[in-house]
């Protein structure tokens, strides 16, 4: 009708304006500004030493890995709250399998658990069409409970140093192995999201499932796969916890889902789906690590850190959503 046509021309001018959108890039700016701020203010406390900088990388790495998987889920307009507990469960399963059957069995068992949970999450979300929020909220409790149950709440030490070295405790030259893992996963993630048909389908389904169906894209398959990817990547995160801390424990990864979601959103992926950047997520995770590190160096107590960190995140997101 006539009105529709008018609306079209009307929104053209508005659309062009809103196109200059800081949201996707705010994270790089925020990272740079915060980094410089800390570098100046905390210089005398050793912020810029290579040891400290490596520390930031190392401390961001596991949440960063998990956040890469989360980027796919959120870009597809879903959510995965179970990643932290999946990491915890996988850490204990891997540790127990290693002590019984050896390293290879541990790795396989850890990945299998991740895959199994991913299959359940993915099937319930994609085929049964239960909201992912509910499915993964329930799975969060199930995985956490299982991990505590099978271990009787006891830590499961990993004595095979080969595993520990490969999964997070070792270094390659000056670079921590954890950071290498982070780079590999982030590289793969960025590649898949940007360069494959599947990645394009994820973004399309997240932006407009109806148009995607009418374009011949299988929404069900896409949703299933993102949930699967997220769990498997979270399982890898759990194995890295196990290697880095040389043990499996049900608390590993607790609360990581929120940090991962924050990293993804800070990185410019739309919470409502349809837009996603793995590179942004990497910087989102680094930004959170940077803040933690700086606030510790500044001598803030743990409760103070939490408050200040919260304020900084709100500021960053608020700036990003400003047109």
Partner 1 sequence: MTVSGCTEPALIRMSGICKSFNGVQVLNDAGFEVRAGEIHALAGGNGAGKSTLMKILQGVYQKDAGTIEIQGRPAQLNTYADARRQGIGMVFQEFSLVPSLTVAQNIYLNDEPRSAMLIRDAEMISGAREILGRMQVDLDPRAELASLSTAYWQLTEIAKALRGEARVLIMDEPTASLARKEADRLFELLRNLREQGIGIIYISHRMEEIYEIADRITILRNGSNLLTKQISEITQEEIVRGIAGKAVALTAAGSSGQCGDVLLKATGVSAQRKLHDVSFEVHAGEVIGVAGLMGSGRTELLEALFGINLTTRGSIVLDGQPMSPRSPRDAIAAGVVLIPEDRRRQGLILKHSVQENLVLPDLSAVLRGGLLSAAAERDRAVQLIGSYGIRGAGPNLPVEVLSGGNQQKVVIGKWLGVGPRLLLMDEPTAGVDIGTKSEIVKQVREFARNGGAVLVVSSEYQELIAMSDRYLIMRGGSIIRSLPADAVRDETTLEMWVQGVEQ
- Which residues of this chain interact with partner 1, rule CB under 8 A? 1-6, 8-12, 15-16, 19, 194-197, 199-200, 203-204, 207-208, 210-218, 274-275
Q: How far apart are CA 294 and CA 296, in angstroms?
A: 5
Q: Which is nearer to partner 1, 139 or 205 (CB)?
A: 205
Phi, psi of 175 (to 5 degrees): -100, 125
Instruction: Give me the least distance between CB of 274 and partner 1, in Å please.
Output: 6
Q: Which is nearer to partner 1, 6 or 154 (CB)?
A: 6
Instruction: Give me the least distance between CB of 307 and partner 1, in Å please.
Output: 35
Q: Which is nearer to partner 1, 23 or 243 (CB)?
A: 23
Instruction: Give me the least distance between CB of 323 and partner 1, in Å please.
Output: 14
Instruction: Give me the least distance between CB of 24 and partner 1, in Å please.
Output: 12
Q: How many CB atoms lie within 10 A of CB 88?
A: 30
Instruction: Give me the least distance between CB of 122 and partner 1, in Å please.
Output: 19
Q: Which is nearer to partner 1, 93 or 229 (CB)?
A: 229
Q: Which is nearer to partner 1, 15 or 162 (CB)?
A: 15
Q: Which is nearer to partner 1, 1 or 128 (CB)?
A: 1
Residue among 75, 27, 67, 78 nearest 290 (CA)? 27
Instruction: Give me the least distance between CB of 64 and partner 1, in Å please.
Output: 24
Q: Which is nearer to partner 1, 154 or 188 (CB)?
A: 188
Instruction: Give me the least distance between CB of 275 and partner 1, in Å please.
Output: 7
184 and 61 Cβ atoms separated by less than 8 Å: no
Q: Which is nearer to partner 1, 3 or 152 (CB)?
A: 3
Instruction: Give me the least distance between CB of 12 and partner 1, in Å please.
Output: 5
- Residue linked to tokens 């169906």: 213
Q: How many CB atoms lie within 10 A of CB 106?
A: 27
Q: How many CB atoms lie within 10 A of CB 194?
A: 14
């Amino acid at each position: 009708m006539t009105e529709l046509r008018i609306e079209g021309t009307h929104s053209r001018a508005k659309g062009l304006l809103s196109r200059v959108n800081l949201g996707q890039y705010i994270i790089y700016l925020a990272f740079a500004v915060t980094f410089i701020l800390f570098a100046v203010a905390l210089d005398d406390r050793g912020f810029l030493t290579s040891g400290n900088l490596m520390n930031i990388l190392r401390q961001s790495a596991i949440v960063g890995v998990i956040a890469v998987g989360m980027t796919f889920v959120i870009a597809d307009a879903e959510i995965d709250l179970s990643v932290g507990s999946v990491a915890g469960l996988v850490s204990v399963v891997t540790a127990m399998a290693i002590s019984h059957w050896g390293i290879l069995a541990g790795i396989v068992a850890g990945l299998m658990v991740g895959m199994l949970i991913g299959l359940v999450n993915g099937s319930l979300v994609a085929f049964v069409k239960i909201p992912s929020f509910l499915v993964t909220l329930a799975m969060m409790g199930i995985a956490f409970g299982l991990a505590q149950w099978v271990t009787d709440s006891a830590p499961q030490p990993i004595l095979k140093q080969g595993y520990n070295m490969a999964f997070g405790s070792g270094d390659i030259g000056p670079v921590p192995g954890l950071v290498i893992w982070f780079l590999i996963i982030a590289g793969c993630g960025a590649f898949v999201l940007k360069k494959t048909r599947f990645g394009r389908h994820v973004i399309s389904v997240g932006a407009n499932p109806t148009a995607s169906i009418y374009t011949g894209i299988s929404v069900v398959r896409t949703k299933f796969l993102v949930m699967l990817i997220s769990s498997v990547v979270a399982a890898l995160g759990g194995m890295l916890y196990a290697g880095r801390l040389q043990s499996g424990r049900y608390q590993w990864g607790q609360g990581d889902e929120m940090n991962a979601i924050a990293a993804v959103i800070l990185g410019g992926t739309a919470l409502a789906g349809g837009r996603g950047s793995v590179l942004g997520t990497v910087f989102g995770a680094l930004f959170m690590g940077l803040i933690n590190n700086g606030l510790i160096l500044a001598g803030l107590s743990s409760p103070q850190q939490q408050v200040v960190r919260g304020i900084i995140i709100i500021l960053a997101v608020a700036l990003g959503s400003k047109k």
